Structure 1
Amino acid sequence: MFSIGDTVFYSAQGICSIEEIKEQKFGKEKQLYYTLRSHHNPNLTLYHPVNTDDSKLKRLMTKEQAVSVLQCFENIADPWDEKTNVRSHAYQATISSENHLKIAQMANTLLRRRTELETIDKKLPVQDAQVLQRVTTILYEELATALNTTASDISDQIDEIIEKN
């Protein structure tokens, strides 16, 4: 169980702070819910049941885990599938896995593909660019928190890693 004041990772919402724990009625019965405040969007209040078998709340990654995730960006890109729908399904499966290393490798592949296309004056397809924006915003924020820096610094570090490799 988490406590008021804890900072957690909440699925696709990213980093949130637990502001209170109280009974709420969102269905037939009252039950305890965490009241969460998104760090990415402070105007967003979220509620998550305290007692659930499929909790989407996770502890933030540690500094050691964050270093491992950053190292993923040294890897070569995964093979690029030209079929948009195949990529879309793969993206959703990766995001749903909530596995930081897999998500980082997916972002690595998208970043490298974007760089490759930019060298020939082309852009990443809109769907791919949207996925990249969504996952990097959340991933960089969590990495920054774990490494006590900013998401902008993380973005710069990753750009440097990709440029070198």
Structure 2
Amino acid sequence: MYKTGDTVLHPTAGVCTVKEIKSENFAGLGKKDFYVLAPVYDSRQVIHSPVDSEKITLKKVLEKDEIISLIRSVDVNKSLWVDGDAARKDAFKKVLKGGDRHEIINLIITICEKQKSLEKIGKKLHLADERVLGEAQKIIHQEFAYALNIETSKISQFIMKELELC
């Protein structure tokens, strides 16, 4: 269980600070304990997340050395691309929901590579793939930027440098 002041990674809201923990009767679920989360990169938003939720799992934000180790262990040759829009959407959603940072980084690399190959022939990614890329980048970029104390806009370049892809 996290405590007030902890910084956590929420699967959709990104990096958040636990502002408080309180018991409430939310959405007719009976009295339950909830984390009141303040997203670090969106000060207008407040998230209530059940402490005991199995669907929404909060994670500890990685430390700098953990991030470097994670990036260096990514298999850049592993493609997660799936032909067929519906199957690809399901596969990509599963990666995002799973929250495995290795897989999310592979997902970003996969979609970026596909985007480059499509641009070479004058085509664009499907809008659904662009959305998934945006979600995946938000998850990784926010956490890494927070832990490394650099701007989110510089994370892609940082990752590419660590992977020796540029």
Could you say which residue in structure 2 is the equivalent of 1:139? 140
- Kindly provide the amino acid, as one letter, of the partner of residue 99 in structure 2: E
- Asked if 1:17 corresponds to 2:17, the answer is yes
- Kindly provide the amino acid, as one letter, of the partner of residue 118 in structure 1: E
Following the alignment from structure 1 to structure 2, what is the Cα–Cα distance between the partners of residues 77 and 151? 25
Alpha-carbon contact 1:69-1:104 (below 8 Å) kept = no
Residues paired across the two proteins, number: 164
Residues 101 and 13 of structure 1: CA distance in aligned 2, closer, same or farther (over 3 Å): same
Identity fraction in percent = 28
Alpha-carbon contact 1:74-1:162 (below 8 Å) kept = no
Give the alignment's TM-score, normalised by structure 2: 0.85
Residues 2 and 153 of structure 1: CA distance in aligned 2, closer, same or farther (over 3 Å): same
Alpha-carbon contact 2:11-2:139 (below 8 Å) kept = no
Could you say which residue in structure 2 is the equivalent of 1:32? 33
Give the alignment's TM-score, normalised by structure 1: 0.86
More helix by share: 1
Q: Mean Cα displacement is larger for which, 18-27 or 152-161?
A: 152-161
CA shift at 1:163, angstroms?
A: 8.6
Unaligned runs of 5+ in 2: none
- Asked if 1:130 corresponds to 2:137, the answer is no
Following the alignment from structure 1 to structure 2, what is the Cα–Cα distance between the partners of residues 146 and 65? 10
Unaligned runs of 5+ in 1: none
CA shift at 1:158, angstroms?
A: 3.7
- Kindly provide the amino acid, as one letter, of the partner of residue 2 in structure 1: Y
Q: Secondary structure at the match of 2:20?
A: strand
Report 1:1-165 matches (<5 A): 1-26=1-26, 27-50=28-51, 52=52, 54=54, 56-71=57-72, 75-78=76-79, 80-158=81-159, 164=165
CA shift at 1:80, angstroms?
A: 3.4
